[in-house]
Amino acid sequence: MRPRPAGPEVFLGEGFDPVEGASRVKTLSRAPGSLFASVREDGRTVAAGAAAFGHGWASVHGMRTAQDRRGRGLAGRILAALAQEALKRGHDRIFLQVQADNPAAQALYRRAGFTLAWSYDYWSRPV
């Protein structure tokens, strides 16, 4: 594991919005000290995530698993690696955001010991 652009094909692959994916790759690549973790199989990145560090906290971002590799524990491996690195760097608290309509990710984070701290409400202009 080392800081580097993290398998943009995971963020830009089938089933993901290409505009959102490109924006996420750009954003995740610019934070100083960020760490990217990925799992590669058969020459391609099949799971990825990133962490940024500051003020005793690690923030996890951009967790993605290629659609054809989901349900195999890859995201759990990424999350564990990022948590281990956070501890090495002296950060003993981690936070992340997860979409309310993503029960698989919510289950992963619950198994890892995360609890809900707050939720967001979004507003959009009526059409």
Identify the CATH number of the domain in which residue 55 sits: 3.40.630.30
Residues written for the chain = 127
Residue 124 lies in a domain: no
Residue 96 lies in a domain: yes
Residue 72 lies in a domain: yes
pTM of the model: 0.80
Name the phi and psi angles at 51, rounded to 5: -140, 145
d(C-alpha 75, C-alpha 101), whole Å: 17
Residue 1 lies in a domain: no
Average confidence (pLDDT) per 10 residues, the chain, 127 residues? 50 74 76 82 86 90 90 95 93 93 94 92 86
The token duo for 121 is 């409400």
Residue 51 lies in a domain: yes
Residue 43 lies in a domain: yes
Residue 86 lies in a domain: yes
